[in-house]
A = this chain, B = another copy of it.
């Protein structure tokens, strides 16, 4: 879309896009998904609401693009692979715990998760754009470990990824426990000790 525009207009568009993303993330964290409106995002971002409607059909679409602007890059890079599966998983999950323990990060993510849990339509895009790619990087890392002989051949790597990720997500979303480094480390060790090749 931006390819044929004059440089000035491209820069202006990019600035507006970023302002809209920041406004959407800040606002949904403050008022929740239900009360988030395109008008509210536009006014906070200092743009006309037609600017938003020109690029996105709905508030869900704006929010998902705002989130995935950061995560797409992470997901494309995949998890680190130093050859030590446990160390790599602990490293990433500790960093993720830091993020989820940060109120500024977690508020908009919670608003979106709540909207997804509540509404099947929102859920479909939330799962396709954020949750599935998140599970996939873990599944891919586990498969690489499987190919390297670090994980047994008969392990279902998708379910193994969920055994590591879901207790983490669940503690955060339902508030059933703290996301400490201790928790993350024990979770990874305990999930992995059954996955190694036998004998």
Contacts and interface: CB of A to CB of B under 8 A. Distances in A.
Interface string A127-140: 10001100100000
Given A123-B175, A169-B170, A186 B114 contact: no
Contacts of A191: 163, 191, 194
A110 interface: yes
Contact of A156 (B113, B166, B190): B190
A192 B194 contact: yes
Number of copies of this protein chain within its complex: 2
Interface residues of A, number: 42
Contact of A174 (B116, B160, B177, B192): B116
Overall SS of chain A's interface: helix
A187 interface: yes
A167 B159 contact: yes
Contacts of A167: 159, 162-163, 166-167
A162 B173 contact: no
Contacts of A114: 114, 117-118
A45 interface: no
9 contacts: A114-B118, A159-B167, A159-B186, A159-B190, A160-B190, A162-B171, A163-B187, A169-B174, A193-B194
Interface of A: 32, 34, 110, 113-114, 116-118, 120, 123-124, 126-127, 131-132, 135, 155-156, 159-160, 162-163, 165-167, 169-171, 173-177, 183, 186-187, 190-195
